[in-house]
Amino acid sequence: MVNNNINHHEYDEGNPGLFARIADDIQEKGFSINPFALPLGLSGSLLDRINTMGDDEFVHARIGREQLLMKNQFVRKNEICWITGETNADRDWLQWTGEMQTFLNRRLLLGLFSFESHYSHYAEGDFYKRHVDAHKGDANRVLSIVVYLNPEWLPESAGELVIYKNDSDQEGIKVTPGFGTVVVFLSEDFPHEVIATKRDRYAIAGWFRLNSSVLGRIDPPI
């Protein structure tokens, strides 16, 4: 179990500024890239959590409910661990994203209702080909967030996230997966990919969702 050593002063002071910048960016262009923006205490707890996680906590990622792992390996190769709030670090993360959800709902009236997220580990050579996190009309995943937990990332390690502005954009914007970088984007609107990494790469990926409950049932995470 990881000790919770968030510095509350910094935590309380930093978030409104960051959340406001994210809200403005989403409104203006639909995505927001914020290097070194995750509160330091939270970044440290999450890094400790990752460093003390057993290999058996990560499972191979799947895409969608029905697809076969064999097929997926051409699209996506990495491992994930869903965050359910088992440790202090996980709970701090869920608290922080909950505050962001409340802020964005007030500011942008997005109606975000729930949140799901997982740690991800890309080993050397792992990648995630160009994809979107939600399909138009599904009205489910609204906003994607990715935060990176890799101290001292060097350009030669590759592993960048590339965000494309639309379906025909082939150039994209490259984001280095450096420690504490926070990326947020509209899930339906931005195809993106992870370039094959040359070293271990750790991140959290999460999705704010609309209320998709049908007859009292809430969709489970994919």
Q: Which is nearer to Mn ion, 116 or 133 (CB)?
A: 133
Q: Which is nearer to Mn ion, 90 or 133 (CB)?
A: 133
The least CB distance from residue 106 to Mn ion, in Å, is: 26
Longest CA pairwise span in the chain (Å): 51
Measured over the CA atoms of residue 82, residue 136, residue 65 and residue 210, the dihedral's sign is: positive
Contact set for Mn ion, span 118-177 (CB under 5 A):
133
**Of these, 38, 100, 146, 147, which contacts ligand OGA (CB under 6 A)?**
146
The least CB distance from residue 211 to Mn ion, in Å, is: 22
The least CB distance from residue 52 to Mn ion, in Å, is: 26
Dihedral of CA atoms 43, 119, 184, 17 in degrees, nearest 10, equals -20
SS3 124: coil
The site partner of 93 among Mn ion, ligand OGA, none (C-beta below 5 to 8 Å per kind) is none
**Burial group, residue 117, by CB count within 10 angstroms (0-12, 13-18, 19+):** buried
Judged by CB under 6 A, does residue 192 bind ligand OGA?
yes
Q: How many CB atoms lie within 10 A of CB 105?
A: 14
The least CB distance from residue 131 to Mn ion, in Å, is: 6
Judged by CB under 6 A, does residue 204 bind ligand OGA?
no
Judged by CB under 6 A, does residue 194 bind ligand OGA?
yes
d(CA 132, CA 179): 24
**Burial group, residue 149, by CB count within 10 angstroms (0-12, 13-18, 19+):** buried
Judged by CB under 6 A, does residue 203 bind ligand OGA?
yes
Judged by CB under 5 A, does residue 188 bind Mn ion?
no
Q: How many CA atoms lie within 13 A of 160 on its CB side?
A: 13
d(CA 192, CA 165): 9
The least CB distance from residue 16 to ligand OGA, in Å, is: 26
- The residue number with the shortest CB distance to Mn ion is 133
The site partner of 194 among ligand OGA, Mn ion, none (C-beta below 5 to 8 Å per kind) is ligand OGA
Question: Where does this chain bind Mn ion (CB under 5 A)?
Answer: 133
Question: Where does this chain bind ligand OGA (CB under 6 A)?
Answer: 120, 128, 133, 146, 161, 192, 194, 203, 205
